Amino acid sequence: AQRVTQPEKLLSVFKGAPVELKCNYSYSGSPELFWYVQYSRQRLQLLLRHISRESIKGFTADLNKGETSFHLKKPFAQEEDSAMYYCALGVYNQGGKLIFGQGTELSVKP
């Protein structure tokens, strides 16, 4: 079964603290993982994808196939990072649909 699990609905940290948003997936094929972000009153947008292995806005995520995880990390959280974060699994055998986790709301307090 194709599934994405984000165990935390809400993560609250103070500015400057490290952040880790957890994501685990279940997929029998070769996974393509993404993190999407939705800031308040904005539309959903791509934050980063594992194939590009880049850091966006200080966030990184490493695909760990052994643990079937794709956790999102940032060493020093900023208030502007407060948003909803969704982990997504790309399924391309039928045309590229995304399977989303339930999302984690990140709240960064001053």
Partner 1 sequence: GAGVSQSPSNKVTEKGKDVELRCDPISGHTALYWYRQRLGQGLEFLIYFQGNSAPDKSGLPSDRFSAERTGESVSTLTIQRTQQEDSAVYLCASSLGPTGTYEQYFGPGTRLTVT
Question: Beta-carbon neighbour count of residue 11 at 10 Å?
Answer: 17
Say whether residue 11 binds partner 1 (CB under 8 A): no
Say whether residue 4 binds partner 1 (CB under 8 A): yes
Please name which of 11, 61, 12, 54 lies closest in space to residue 35, comparing C-alpha atoms. Answer: 61
Cβ at position 16, least distance to partner 1 in Å: 29
Say whether residue 40 binds partner 1 (CB under 8 A): no
Rounded CA separation 66/11 (Å): 25
Residue ranges that bind partner 1, judged by CB under 8 A: 4, 6, 9, 32, 34, 43-46, 49, 51, 86, 88, 90, 92, 94-103
